[in-house]
Amino acid sequence: METFTYTKATGVQQAIQAAGQSQTRFIAGGTTLLDLMKLNVERPSQLVDINRLPLDQVEKLPDGRLRIGATVRNSDLAHHPSVESDYSVLSQALLSGASAQLRNMATTGGNLLQRTRCMYFRNDAMACNKRTPGSGCSAIEGDNRTLAILGASKDCIATNPSDMNVALTALEATIHIQGAKGEREVPIGDFFLVPGNTPQRENVLEPGELITFVTLPAPKAGSKQIYLKLRDRASYEFALSSAAIVAVVSNGKLEFVRVALGGLGTKPWRSLEAERALHGKTRDGRVFRQAAEAALHGAQPQSENGFKVQLAKRCITHALTLATA
Ligand SMILES: Cc1cc2nc3c(=O)[nH]c(=O)nc-3n(C[C@H](O)[C@H](O)[C@H](O)COP(=O)(O)OP(=O)(O)OC[C@H]3O[C@@H](n4cnc5c(N)ncnc54)[C@H](O)[C@@H]3O)c2cc1C
Ligand code: SF4
């Protein structure tokens, strides 16, 4: 680990000003960042601690939206009464991730920005375009069983590992950002980037920009929500395939549906193809299987993860069955 300075910020403006120096990282729960610093993958010269910022509340806004502060802990968010009742897909996704101790530390902003678990990214002796642009991708000809089948490029096939991000994608969250140039809001669908030939760039944040809040649209009346996560063991494990479904069924037909996938894509993956195949259709297994086929139509398996195509189809079909039961 390299030497760094440490600053505790007490206000948003102070945090942003402090982050004006190059090679600064904000530190929230530290459950991703400190690991990566110890592995020499992240080498900030300055840490700005944002744990004292007034961003630790979950609030209902007058227009019905829910505003989640960037430093709200994952466990607090999962058990918040409004999240449990109106956005249960988010609660389920958070509680399926990591362990109770990690969720007590991990924050909304940190979870959004957690880095890939690709083993070559975390090993600084191996070539990795995401860690060292232009060095090559060890995973393409290497151990890629857990990596992406959607949105990959010839330069990077790493998955976005977050469960929370998949639920936020199905809920069509908005990310609120503040930086030296002011404030902006980005829909989650535009926030994450596919790797292309710049896999080191994972999202639209500019250096020194702080995530302040995430907002969720007013709850969809009568919606049923499911987060289904399939993984190698029942807890403390990342998804091989997951599905977040938000659905409203009226007179047996799917009046509204959102489908987002995890463990499969280089970013949290919203499947507009599946949504189109479901919209207005009768709730039944054949329709669900057609939607799953549509979602995986463009999948490009790697040498070791062809099994994910079938796994993902079953995951989507089962999640839709549960959500609309
Ligand atoms: C053993 C283990 C198992 C895990 N299993 C799962 C799992 O099954 N599912 C899952 O989804 N996750 C899992 N995780 C990941 C965990 O959810 C993340 O580590 C956690 O959410 C990160 O949050 P944090 O607050 O600790 O982030 P930090 O480590 O503090 O920060 C992470 C990154 O975000 C940046 N950052 C943080 N807050 C902000 C902000 N407000 N604005 C701008 N930048 C910011 C930091 O600079 C850093 O780059 C696991 C982690 C571990 C260690
Ligand atoms: S898949 Fe991406 S993160 Fe993994 S080694 Fe290749 S470039 Fe690096």
Q: What is the pLDDT of residues 270-308, one digit of tens each?
A: 999 999 999 999 999 999 999 999 999 999 999 999 999
For the segment 103-107, the average pLDDT, to the nearest whole number, is 98
CA of 74 to the centre of ligand 1 (A): 10
Which among 207, 223, 200, 196 is positioned nearest to 323, based on CA atoms? 223
| All structural domains of the chain | 5-49 (3.30.43), 224-323 (3.30.390.50)
- At how many degrees (to 10) do helices 285-295 and 307-324 cross? 140
Tell me the torsion sign for CA atoms 140, 129, 313, 277: negative
CB neighbours of 146 closer than 8 A, spacing ≥ 6?
Answer: 117, 159, 238, 240, 263, 305
Q: What is the pLDDT of residues 182-237, one digit of tens each?
A: 999 999 999 999 999 999 999 999 999 999 999 999 999 999 999 999 999 998 99
Which among 179, 50, 48, 36 is positioned nearest to 109, based on CA atoms? 50
Q: Is 1's pLDDT higher than 90? A: no
- Other C-beta atoms within 10 Å of 263: how many? 28
Rounded to 5 degrees, what are φ and ψ at 175?
Answer: -100, 130
DSSP state of 283: -
What is the predicted pLDDT for the residue at 247?
A: 98
For the segment 87-115, the average pLDDT, to the nearest whole number, is 98
Helix (H, G, I), strand (E, B) or coil at 284: coil
Distance, CA of 261 to chain centre: 10
Would you say the CB of residue 203 lies under 6 angstroms from ligand 1? no
Would you say the CB of residue 199 lies under 6 angstroms from ligand 2? yes
Query: How far is the C-alpha of 198 from the C-alpha of 151, rounded, in Å?
Result: 13
Token output for 73: 């802990």
Would you say the CB of residue 106 lies under 6 angstroms from ligand 1? yes
For the segment 14-42, the average pLDDT, to the nearest whole number, is 95
Pocket test of ligand 2: the residue of 157, 193, 202 to mutate, having most ligand atoms within 8 Å of its CB, is 157
Ligand 2 atom nearest to 126, measured from its CA: 5
46-49 β-sheet, strand order? 5-8, 46-49, 24-27
Would you say the CB of residue 291 lies under 6 angstroms from ligand 2? no
For the segment 127-147, the average pLDDT, to the nearest whole number, is 98
Give the pLDDT band (50/70/90) at residue 2. Answer: confident
Query: How far is the C-alpha of 186 from the C-alpha of 208, rounded, in Å?
Result: 16
What is the predicted pLDDT for the residue at 265?
A: 98
Q: What is the pLDDT of residues 115-131, one digit of tens each?
A: 999 999 999 999 999 99
Helix (H, G, I), strand (E, B) or coil at 195: coil
Would you say the CB of residue 194 lies under 6 angstroms from ligand 2? no
The model's pTM is 0.98
Structure-derived torsion over alpha carbons of residues 37, 40, 41, 44, reported in degrees to the nearest 10:
50
Would you say the CB of residue 305 lies under 6 angstroms from ligand 2? no
Please answer whether residues 151 and 265 qualify as being in contact, where contact means their C-beta atoms are separated by less than 8 angstroms: yes
What is the predicted pLDDT for the residue at 13?
A: 97
What is the predicted pLDDT for the residue at 266?
A: 98
Would you say the CB of residue 70 lies under 6 angstroms from ligand 1? yes
What is the predicted pLDDT for the residue at 229?
A: 98
What is the predicted pLDDT for the residue at 21?
A: 78
For the segment 76-92, the average pLDDT, to the nearest whole number, is 98
What is the predicted pLDDT for the residue at 20?
A: 87
Residue with tokens 């209902």: 60
CA of 295 to the centre of ligand 1 (A): 28
Q: Is 253's pLDDT higher than 90? A: yes
CA of 118 to the centre of ligand 2 (A): 6
Query: How far is the C-alpha of 5 from the C-alpha of 215, rounded, in Å?
Result: 32
Q: What is the pLDDT of residues 48-72, one digit of tens each?
A: 999 999 999 999 999 999 999 999 9
Please answer whether residues 76 and 58 qualify as being in contact, where contact means their C-beta atoms are separated by less than 8 angstroms: yes
Which runs of consecutive H residues, i.e. helices, occur in the chain? 12-18, 33-38, 74-78, 81-86, 88-95, 100-105, 108-112, 164-170, 188-191, 272-278, 285-295, 307-324
Number of H helices, E strands in the chain: 12, 12
